[in-house]
Amino acid sequence: MTITAAADGSALGNPGPAGWAWYIDDDRWAAGGWKHGTNNMGELKAVLELFRATEHTGEDLLVLCDSQYVINSVTKWMPGWKAKGWRKGDGKPVMNLDLLQELDDAIRGRTYRFEWVKGHVGHVLNEAADARARAAAAAYQRGTEVPTGPGFGAPTASPVRVTVPDDRAASLFELEEVGEPELHEVSLQLTDEEFARLTRRARREGRSPEELLRGLI
């Protein structure tokens, strides 16, 4: 199964009050923004948050995007920028570095493709994302509540159980006596987003989520 979603950004004044949004359908969309930002920031953030929101699904992702800047950044330019220490061919630093690095991390291990769509020509998904991005930017301009949307769905808790030796458990649970080493089970409830972040970090370190948590304990 492939999730098809549109992602868009908007900046009033560019730079100015800015918004971002991704849209799948009326039950699955999200938006946000900043008091001051650029259109490119909004475009990148929309795609970034779409990848984050759908990571737990394990599904392929088709991103409908009207920004050639975003599509080229991800599919063409990013490898070269990384090889040059996140600098362009002329040696100048890459713009929007923080968002690009977060996006580079978010797409790792995902199966996805981008499809360019022309903006403001009546494409249903693109228009829906654009309207929500502009609404977020307008809310920041007015200083009113930002319509953030329902997201992908209510997060569910993912149990992570970590088994630790008794000598460590003593410090955790203040046991008065420590005999022969035993194993104690610790149960931790994480939201899908928290579990996804844990999994990404463990993957980068070449460990399982359980091993990473055990090391932190």
Any catalytic annotation for residue 8? yes
Any catalytic annotation for residue 166? no
Residue-wise pLDDT tens digits, 100-148: 999 999 999 999 999 999 998 899 999 999 999 999 999 999 999 999 9
Say what the pLDDT of residue 178 is. 46
Any catalytic annotation for residue 143? no
Q: Mean pLDDT check: name the lowest of 2-6, 22-26, 150-154, 178-182.
A: 178-182
What is the residue extent of each domain of the chain?
2-142, 157-216
Any catalytic annotation for residue 184? no
Of the residues 120, 122, 176, 180, only one is catalytic, namely: 120
Any catalytic annotation for residue 123? no
Of 183, 201, 166, residue with least CA distance to 213: 201
Hey, what are 140's tokens? Answer: 């920041």
Residue-wise pLDDT tens digits, 69-112: 999 999 999 999 999 999 999 999 999 999 999 999 999 999 99
Of the residues 42, 130, 149, 192, only one is catalytic, namely: 130
The domain 2-142 is placed in CATH, from the list 3.40.50.1360, 3.20.20.140, 3.30.420.10, 3.40.50.720, at 3.30.420.10
The answer to whether the beta carbons of residues 21 and 129 sit under 8 Å apart is yes
Alpha-carbon gap, residue 209 to 144, rounded angstroms: 40
Of the residues 9, 32, 33, 149, only one is catalytic, namely: 9
Of 217, 191, 53, 39, residue with least CA distance to 130: 39
Residue 65, pLDDT above cutoff 80? yes
Report the chain's mean pLDDT, rounded to a whole number.
85
Say what the pTM is. Answer: 0.72
Any catalytic annotation for residue 26? no
